[in-house]
């Protein structure tokens, strides 16, 4: 098991460097630069521009800039935002709990609805339930997040008035964050109605963010279940007279779990990407919105460091998923 873990860890090192290089290059490939973006429509004189480029060191060869950057990152210094002048890591730490909370609830929704939907669709293959579930899943998968979010806001917040339009909690609740997770902080605050307010603010963005992963998980569970249900050992289990619930729950589902767990692990990346749009629509103060703002301002430091930190987190989650495989399926450890 340890060897397996070390092998996985060894793969992460070149990946991190690759991503840091890609992030560094990506932001510089975008047209425009941070000096011009900062100057705005007022513009900046060529002399002043030259001065500022010199000051930030963006006139030096890219190789030098990258090596310096990576050197600082290795010491835990992710740099200072060009736009806000605040440390990138500090901004990330302040905003990440909001994204994590949203993504976790979205993932819970996706898993809790997606897996049972997939299982039932597989069991009732070809039935109207199967057709309807997969139809809805395909629609969910193809739905543009921005449009979907706005549609839900207009219907549930505007027309029905059931949920708040945006934000994380009602403005009447004001307390210093303890954990950064609003659901937990609202409980700790002891203010009556705070938790309810936080939950009602979370529900729409979580549904929007859960839509694509839910569709993917449901479809993946269905296909994995169908494959397993056709296996000999399932037929044998049935022939032995085991109860259908036991056959599906114990024999089929356990074996269908591996691709499903893989899919769930991969959804972390999807959730991060989806968070960018979801957070923008719902004014959710997380890292997705933060990255979008940084790209708009050509804030090289935030974009390259932010991408790297997000990638590190996604890789860490994938590593955990890999370890989980090994726990679920001992054959993987041996291989």
Partner 1 sequence: MKKKLTFAAALLAASVIGGMANAKQLVYCSEASPAGFDPSPWSGGNDFDASSRTIYSRLVEFDHGKTTISPGLAESWTVSDDGLEYTFKLRPGVKFQTTDYFTPTRDLNADDVIFSFERQWKKENPWYSYLEGTGWEYFTGMGFPDLLKEIVKVDDLTVKFVLNKPEVAFLPDLGMDFASIVSKEYADQLDKAGTRQQFTQKPIGTGPFQFVDYQVDAVIRYAAWDGYYGGRQKIDDLIFAITTDPAVRAQKLKAGECDIMSYPAPADIAGLQADTNLKVDEQEGLNIGYLAYNTTVPPFDKVEVRKALNMAVNKKAIIDAVYQGAGQPAVNPIPPTMWSYNKDIKDDPYDPEAAKKMLADAGVKDLSMKIWAMPVSRPYNPNAQRVAEMIQADYAAVGVKAEIVSYEWTEYRERGKQKDRDGAFQLGWTGDNGDPDNFLFLLGCDAIGQSNYAIWCNKEFEDLLKKGKATTDVAERTKIYEEAQVVFKREAPWLTIAHSKVFMPMNKKVSGYVMDPLGIHRFDGVDVTE
Q: Examine residue 199 and tell whether it contacts partner 1 (CB under 8 A).
A: no
Size of the site for partner 1 (CB under 8 A): 56
Q: Which residue of 1, 9, 50, 154 would you call a contact of partner 1, by CB under 8 A?
A: 154
Q: Examine residue 157 and tell whether it contacts partner 1 (CB under 8 A).
A: yes
Q: Examine residue 158 and tell whether it contacts partner 1 (CB under 8 A).
A: yes
Q: Examine residue 32 and tell whether it contacts partner 1 (CB under 8 A).
A: yes
Q: Examine residue 96 and tell whether it contacts partner 1 (CB under 8 A).
A: no
Q: Examine residue 200 and tell whether it contacts partner 1 (CB under 8 A).
A: no
SS3 track for 224-284: HHHHHHCCHHHHHHHHCCCCHHHHHHHHHHHHHHHHHHHHHHHHHHHHHHHHHHHHHHCCC
Q: Which residue of 5, 38, 136, 273 would you call a contact of partner 1, by CB under 8 A?
A: 38
Q: Which residue of 16, 22, 37, 258 would you call a contact of partner 1, by CB under 8 A?
A: 37
Q: How far is the CB of 68 from partner 1 (least distance, A)?
A: 14
SS3 track for the chain: CHHHHHHHHHHHHHHHHHHHHHHHHHHHHCCCCHHHHHHHHHCCCHHHHHHHHHHHCCCCCHHHHHHHHHHHHHCCCCCECCCCCCEHHHHHHHHHHHHHHHHHHHHHHHHHHHHHHHHHHHHCCCCHHHHHHHHHHHHHHHCCHHHHHHHHHHHHHHHCCCCCCCCCCCCCCCCCCCCCCHHHHHHHHCCCCHHHHHHHHHHHHHHHHHHHHHHHHHHHHHHHHHHHHCCHHHHHHHHCCCCHHHHHHHHHHHHHHHHHHHHHHHHHHHHHHHHHHHHHHCCCCCHHHHHHHHHHCCCHHHHHHHHHHHHHHHHHHHHHHHHHHHHHCHHHHHC
**Residue 223 or 280 having the CB closest to partner 1:** 280
Q: Which residue of 15, 55, 59, 131 would you call a contact of partner 1, by CB under 8 A?
A: 55
Q: How far is the CB of 86 from partner 1 (least distance, A)?
A: 8
Q: Examine residue 143 and tell whether it contacts partner 1 (CB under 8 A).
A: no
Cα–Cα distances in angstroms (integers) from residue 15 to residues 6, 302, 312, in the given order: 15, 20, 9
**Residue 165 or 328 having the CB closest to partner 1:** 165
Up-side HSE of residue 167: CA atoms within 13 Å toward CB? 11
Q: Which residue of 23, 52, 302, 317 would you call a contact of partner 1, by CB under 8 A?
A: 52
Q: Which residue of 14, 40, 190, 241 would you call a contact of partner 1, by CB under 8 A?
A: 40
Q: How far is the CB of 93 from partner 1 (least distance, A)?
A: 10
**Residue 10 or 171 having the CB closest to partner 1:** 171
**Residue 79 or 269 having the CB closest to partner 1:** 79
Query: By CB under 8 A, which span of 76-84, 204-212, 261-269, 311-319 interacts with partner 1?
Result: 76-84
**Residue 299 or 322 having the CB closest to partner 1:** 299
Q: Which residue of 165, 188, 312, 332 would you call a contact of partner 1, by CB under 8 A?
A: 165
> In whole angstroms, what is the distance from residue 30 CA to residue 28 CA?
5
Restricting to residues 264-293, which ones interact with partner 1 according to CB under 8 A? 280-283, 285-286, 289-290, 293
- Interaction site with partner 1 (CB under 8 A): 30-33, 36-46, 48, 51-52, 55-56, 80, 82-86, 91, 94-95, 150, 153-154, 157-158, 161, 164-168, 171-172, 174-177, 280-283, 285-286, 289-290, 293, 298
């Amino acid at each position: 098991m340890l060897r397996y873990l070390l092998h996985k860890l060894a793969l992460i090192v070149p990946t991190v460097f690759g991503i840091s290089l890609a992030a560094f290059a990506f932001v510089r490939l975008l047209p425009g630069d941070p000096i011009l973006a900062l100057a705005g429509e007022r513009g900046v004189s060529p002399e002043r521009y030259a001065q500022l480029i010199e000051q930030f060191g963006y006139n030096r060869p890219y190789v030098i800039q990258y090596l310096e950057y990576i050197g600082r990152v290795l010491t835990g210094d992710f740099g200072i935002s060009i736009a806000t002048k605040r440390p990138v890591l500090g901004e990330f730490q302040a905003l990440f709990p909001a994204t994590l909370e949203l993504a976790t609830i979205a993932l819970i929704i996706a898993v809790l609805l997606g897996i049972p939907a997939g299982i039932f669709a597989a069991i009732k293959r070809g039935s109207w339930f199967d057709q309807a579930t997969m139809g809805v899943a395909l629609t969910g998968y193809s739905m543009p997040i921005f449009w979907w979010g706005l549609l839900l806001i207009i219907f549930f917040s505007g027309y029905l008035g059931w949920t708040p339009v945006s934000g994380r909690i009602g403005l009447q609740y004001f307390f210093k964050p303890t954990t950064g997770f609003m659901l937990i902080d609202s409980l700790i605050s002891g203010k009556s109605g705070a938790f309810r307010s936080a939950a009602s603010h979370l529900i729409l963005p979580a549904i929007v963010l859960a839509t694509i992963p839910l569709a993917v998980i449901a479809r993946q569970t269905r296909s994995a279940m169908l494959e397993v249900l056709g296996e000999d050992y399932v037929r044998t289990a049935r022939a032995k007279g085991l109860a259908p619930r036991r056959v599906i729950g114990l024999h089929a589902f356990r074996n269908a779990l591996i691709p499903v767990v893989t899919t769930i692990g991969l959804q972390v990346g999807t959730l991060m990407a989806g968070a960018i749009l979801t957070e923008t629509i719902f004014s959710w103060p997380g890292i997705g919105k933060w990255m979008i703002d940084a790209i708009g301002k050509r804030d090289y430091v935030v974009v390259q460091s932010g991408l790297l930190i997000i990638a590190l987190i996604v890789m860490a989650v994938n590593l955990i998923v890999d370890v989980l495989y090994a726990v679920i399926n001992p054959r993987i450890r041996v291989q």
